[in-house]
Structures are given as C-alpha cells and as structure tokens.
Structure 1
C-alpha cells in the first residue's frame, strides 16, 4: 500500500488538470454562446384560430383573409418565430367587431394591435396602449389593406417588411439588439427577416457554439485522460 500511494498521487495531478481544462473550456464556450445570443425588434404577424394565436405563414401584404378573420400584430424582441411574443389579447372576433355590422360588398377583419412593453421599446420611445379595431374592407383586400384602414401611418422597408404601425416605432426595422439584457441595438447586423431565412434553411448563424462542438471537445479531453491513466499503469 505504501508503494502505491505515491503512484496514485502522481497520477491524480494530470487527471485533475485535464478535468479542470474540460470544465473551463466548456464554461468559456457556453458563456460565449449566452453572451452572443441576441434578438430582433420587430412587428410579428399572427392569425387567430378561434381560441389561440398562430404565427402567420404569409406576410400581411400577401395574405387575403376571409370575412370573420382575426389577426394580430405584436411588437417585441425575439430571436425567431419560435419564441416570438403573442398579442396579449384573445382573438375574439365577436367582441372586437360587435359594433360593426356586416355589409354587402365588404368583409370584416378583427385586428389586435399590441405595441408590446417598455422593455421591448427602442431607446427614448414609449409603446402606445394595446388596442383592437374592426376593419371593414373590400372582399379582395389583404391583411395590410385592413391594417392600413385603421392604423395609419404604416412604415415599410425596401423589402416590404412592416416596420411601424401608427408611427410606432419612429425608426428602425427588425434590427438586431444586444444579448446582454440592455435591449440596445448592437449595431449593423442581420434583420429579423434575414434571421428567419437562416433559421429555415441557412447555417443558423446563432453565434454560439453547437452542442456537437462541446461534445467533441469533451471527448478529446476524456481520451487524453484515458491515455494518461494507461501510460501511468504501464510504468
């Protein structure tokens, strides 16, 4: 027993060192991924299914809703459609359009316009109050037409992305904001529209290390530990 103790003590040092390196490397990479995580400040577009909200698969300029449809717009900071904040009012057509009778030659679209919270607002701006409206428009009108009939002025960018409803926000359009919790813009970067494209079919562009990378690093270091142990045993 007295002869083995020095050997085990000598073996423990490199094993501990390698384990420490593994933990440190993982912590650094995971920390970098969290620090670089960011969101996009934009108006998301939703459709009511009678009880809940569903993220719209078409833009408001393309979608031509039927009479009796409920649609929502929510301004917030989110990474992508998967974690986007829904409008904070239920999609209730009967309640929103109760005072707007049906008319021949037109359709009624119930709209929930939710500018979000102060935490999502650009610097120096205060979000207006959430409101609802019943748009009565032509039968072939798009969602954008319905919105324009009750919430001007609207602002779009060169790619037809909706940037502002009723003048809010005053500037910006789907800009990336920092992931440090400050809500401030991180400077020139991808827009929300570009991020959606990357999420659907690109390289992801998340900025953080992948799980595969971390697993690979861990595997290499563990193999190193095993090699040290084996080498010490042969001595």
Structure 2
C-alpha cells in the first residue's frame, strides 16, 4: 500500500505540474501597415524612415500580438479618395491618408479605454516621413529612447511594447496575482495523500 501511495503521490505532482497553464507571451504595441491594392500589408520600414508617396494609405493598429505574422490589422475598409476627398493637392506637398485603429478593450492597458477608430488626411512636405504625417494629424505622439512609437494621440498614456501574458488578468486590478484555487486544491490533495501513505506505513509496522 505504501508503494501504491507513493506512486499516486508522484503522479499527482506530475499532473499538477503539467496542468499549470503556460501563457503565451505577446507584446502590446502599435503596428504599422500599408494599404496595397485594397489589402493591408505589414510595413517593412518604421514610420520614422518610411517616405510614402502622394496618394498612399497607411494604417496603425494598437493590439497585443506575438510578432508581425500575428499582428492585428487595422479594421474597416478605406481608401485614399474616402479619406482625402476634402484635402486639395498643393504643389511641393503630398497627401497621406491615415487610418488609426486604437484597438479593443481586450488589448487596452489596465484602466484605459481605447478611443474610437479614426481617419485623417495629412498634407505634408514632399520629403516627409510617415512619422511626420502622423505628427501633423494625431499629436501628441510618444516614442521611447530607441525611437519605438509608443503612443498616438496620447494613447496609451504609459507603457511601450511591454510583454503581456495570455494568462494575465488585465482588467481586474491584478486580482490574479495570488495562488489559484486549483493550486490550493492540489496542495490539499497532496497533503491528504501523504498523510494516508504515512498512516498505512505505521499500520504495517505495528501489524
């Protein structure tokens, strides 16, 4: 019986270890996109180096994702004509259509609410970058020391590309920081099983 109890105890420990969720890690950040033939394509340059041409459509989406292949695209159909119809062309300048998608409440940092999706037509000098166009229509912008875009129009108020676990409880004020109920139940089961094994061992010695 002692051997059986020991085997059960070992199995329970292994089961508890395997059952512990290993939340996938993503990053909360602004992704940068270019509209190509009606489809959003992940930009190959950052907004501070990309120099779009007059008539280009570019988008930004705030979300939690693991990498560029997993990144959420800007939502909603749009076009240059729809965004810049009321912005006339001017010699020596270019017009860049921008779609800014602040994402969903699920991806928002704790205690923040994402603003509504918006579009804007930026008319900027012909040699301007996407960052220049964005600054013309969506201030304040915030960057980190490595020139990573952290906030558009002040959103989010803090944070920049931070890691986020899929198991993180982002909207309950950190209520998930303590041991889970499953952990306490498992610990209780281990304690009971250990006590049973010890009792059986004593019984065999005094038999």
Bin of the TM-score, shorter chain as denominator length: 0.7 to 0.9
Aligned equivalent of 1:202 = none
Q: Determine the C-alpha separation between the residues in 2 that align with 1:182 and 1:110.
A: 36
- Superposed CA RMSD in Å reads 2.2
TM-score by length of 1: 0.64
Q: Deviations over 1:44-101 (max 9, x none)?
A: 0000003110000100000000010000000011111111110012241110111111
Residue 123 of structure 1 pairs with residue 131 of structure 2: no
Q: Determine the C-alpha separation between the residues in 2 that align with 1:36 and 1:119.
A: 16
Map 1:159-178; keep pairs closer than 5 Å.
159-178=146-165
Greater strand share, structure number: 2
> What SS does the aligned partner of 2:22 have?
helix
Q: Determine the C-alpha separation between the residues in 2 that align with 1:44 and 1:91.
A: 18
Dislocated runs of 4+, deviation >6 Å = none
49, 57, 63: which one aligns with 2:44: 57
**Structure 1 unaligned spans of 5+:** 1-16, 187-235
TM-score by length of 2: 0.72
Q: Determine the C-alpha separation between the residues in 1 that align with 2:167 and 2:23.
A: 8
Q: Determine the C-alpha separation between the residues in 2 that align with 1:79 and 1:58.
A: 18
**Structure 2 unaligned spans of 5+:** 1-6, 175-207
Greater helix share, structure number: 1
90, 99, 108: which one aligns with 1:103: 90
For this pair of structures, how many residues does the alignment match?
A: 161
